[in-house]
A = this chain, B = another copy of it.
Amino acid sequence: MTHTTSPLTTDLYELNMVQAYLDRGEDKEAVFEFFVRRLPARRGFLLAAGLDDALDYLETLRFSAAEIDWLKSTGRFRANLLDYLAGFRFTGDVHAIPEGTVCFANEPLLRITAPLPQAQLVETRLINILNFQTLIASKAARMVLAAPGKVLADFGLRTAHGAEAGLYSARASYLAGFAGAANVAAGERYGLPIVGTMAHSFVQVHADETTAFENFARARPEGVILLIDTYDTEAGARKVVELAPKLKKDGIAIRGVRIDSGDLAAGARKVRRILDDGALSDVIILVSGGVDEDVLLGMMNSGAPIDGFGIGVSLATSIDAPAFDCAYKLQEYAGRPKRKLSEGKVTWPGRKQVWRSYDTDGRMRGDVLTIDGDKQPGEALVVPAMRAGKRIAPAPTLAQIRERAAGDLARLPQALRRLESGYDYPVTIADALQALAEEASRGR
C-alpha cells in the first residue's frame, strides 16, 4: 500500500531552471505563494484543501537511482543537477491557510520559503495537488449548503480524471461535509467512510428482480440498499415491499432503496408512497444520476422525499469549473519583494497574511490582505505548517479538518450561502501591502 507518486511528476521547465540555478549557485532564500487569481462564475468562496497531501509530497520527495538514470539517459541534464536530485530533501518552511478554511481570491493558500532551487522544483506538483483538492472541496461545499441535513456521497471515481483524482475527490468532498465515498481506496488511504449499493448488472444477471434483491440482501445483510430502477421503478419498489417480511424473519432489514434514472423527485414520491403503504416507512430513499448543487436545491425546494444523494461526475470533475485560474508566484527573493507585471496578471508581492473579522453574530465580515508582520484586527489565517522540512505536529486529523469546514461554512455571510452569490466578499488590501507593491514595481 505505497502511496508515492513519481517525483518526475513535474514540468520539464522546473528541471531546466534548477539546472541554471545550480550552474550559477543561485540558491538564496525564495518565497513563493500559491493562490487563486479569481473565482469562477457563480462561485463566492473557496474551501481550502490539499495541504496534508502537499506536505506529504514535500516530506517524501525523493528520486530513486532508476529515476536519476532515466533523467541522465535523456541527455538533457548535467551531473550537478543529477547529483542534486539524487540527494534531494526539501528543507524549507511552509505556511498555509489550514484545510477546511473558507478563503478567497488572492489569499495565499500556501507559502513556501526555501532555497530557490527547492522552491522552484516543487511548483508543478504543489499546484497539481492544491488546485484540485481546493476545487473539489469548494464544489462539494456548495452541495452541502444546498442540501442541509441530507446524506451526500461521492460516487465519482469512474468519471474522475484518473485514480488520484478519485482519491482526492473523496477526501476533499468528505472534508467539506459529504458523508463518505464509494471509492474503496479512499477508505484505505484516508480512513473515510465508504458506501455502496448495487449495479443494474446485478439485477440483470438474475432471472428476476426479487431474487436479485434477496440474494444481495443475504450476501450483505448489514445496511442493505437495493437498486430498484433496472426495469420499472414502481414495480421495483413493490417487490421490495413483498420481500421485506421474508427477510425480516431472518433478521435482515432493508435499509434503503436507490433510484438512478428518470425524474428522480417524481420517482421518489411514488416510491415513498409504495414503501409507506407497505409498512416500510423507515426504508430510506437514495437517488443518483445527474445530481449537482442546482438539482439538490431544486429537490429541497420541491420537498421531494429523498434522504440521500450519490453524486458523481458533477462533483469529481467540478463540472462547471474544472480548474481554478491559479498561480504559484515568486513573491520575494534574497530579501527583496518581487512582482510580476505581465499584462492582466499583476500580482501582490511579499510574504502575505490574511486577517479575518467577524460580525457580532459570528459571521465573516471581511478580510484584510497584508504583509506578514503587519498586525491587523481579527484572526490571522496563514499559519506555520512545516519548519525546515518537518511537518509541525500535531497535524490536524481529517475529522478535525471536517469540523473546521463545518464551522466556517456556518459562519459564511448569508449571501455566500446561495448558489448564485452575486456578492463580493470584501478582501481589503492593507496600506503596507500597497506600499510594498509600489516599491516592488519600481525596484525590480
A229 touches B166 (CB 8 A): no
Q: A1-B70, A196-B11 are in contact. Are A319 and B323 (CB under 8 A)?
A: yes
A10 touches B185 (CB 8 A): yes
B20 touches A157 (CB 8 A): no
A159 touches B326 (CB 8 A): yes
A184 touches B8 (CB 8 A): yes
Task: State the Cβ distance, A37 to closest chain B Cβ, in Å.
Answer: 12
A324 touches B159 (CB 8 A): yes
A204 touches B317 (CB 8 A): no
The winner among A66, A313, A343 for most chain B CB atoms within 10 A is A343
A246 contacts chain B at the CB level, 8 A cutoff: no
Identify which of residues 1-38 in chain A touch chain B, using a CB-to-CB cut-off of 8 Å: 1-2, 5-6, 8-17, 19-20, 23-24, 26, 30, 32
Provide the residues of chain B in CB contact with A131, threshold 8 Å: 158-159
- Report the nearest B residue to A159, measured CB to CB: B323
Provide the residues of chain B in CB contact with A168, threshold 8 Å: 161-162
Checking B6, B12, B231, B313 against A194 with a beta-carbon cut-off of 8 angstroms, the contacting residue is B12
- Select the stretch in A213-221, A372-380, A387-395, A398-406 that faces chain B: A213-221
B155 touches A11 (CB 8 A): yes
Docked CA distance A345–B15 (Å): 49
Provide the residues of chain B in CB contact with A24, threshold 8 Å: 215, 219
Docked CA distance A365–B127 (Å): 45
Could you give, for residues 103-120 of chain A, a 1 whenever the CB lies within 8 Å of some chain B CB and a 0 otherwise?
000000000000010001
A87 contacts chain B at the CB level, 8 A cutoff: no
Provide the residues of chain B in CB contact with A16, threshold 8 Å: 196-198, 216, 219-220
B185 touches A220 (CB 8 A): no
Provide the residues of chain B in CB contact with A74, threshold 8 Å: 187, 194
A345 touches B219 (CB 8 A): no
The winner among A66, A120, A184 for most chain B CB atoms within 10 A is A184
Provide the residues of chain B in CB contact with A1, threshold 8 Å: 6, 64, 66-67, 70
Total number of A residues with any Cβ neighbor in B under 8 Å: 105
A249 contacts chain B at the CB level, 8 A cutoff: no
Provide the residues of chain B in CB contact with A233, threshold 8 Å: 343
Provide the residues of chain B in CB contact with A360, threshold 8 Å: none
Identify which of residues 139-160 in chain A touch chain B, using a CB-to-CB cut-off of 8 Å: 155, 157-160
A421 contacts chain B at the CB level, 8 A cutoff: no
A261 touches B342 (CB 8 A): yes
Checking B8, B70, B128, B182 against A12 with a beta-carbon cut-off of 8 angstroms, the contacting residue is B182
Q: A9-B163, A64-B1, A215-B24 are in contact. Are A220 and B19 (CB under 8 A)?
A: yes
Provide the residues of chain B in CB contact with A343, threshold 8 Å: 229, 233, 261-263
A205 touches B128 (CB 8 A): no
- Report the nearest B residue to A126, measured CB to CB: B158
A-B contacts, 30 of them at CB < 8 A, read A6-B163, A6-B188, A8-B187, A9-B185, A11-B184, A12-B194, A12-B196, A16-B220, A17-B198, A17-B199, A17-B216, A76-B220, A120-B202, A123-B199, A124-B157, A127-B158, A127-B159, A132-B159, A132-B161, A159-B324, A161-B169, A164-B164, A201-B338, A204-B330, A204-B340, A229-B343, A233-B343, A262-B342, A313-B323, A319-B323
| A9-B183, A229-B342 known, 9 other contacts, Cβ within 8 Å | A1-B64, A8-B185, A9-B185, A11-B184, A74-B194, A128-B162, A162-B162, A200-B329, A230-B340
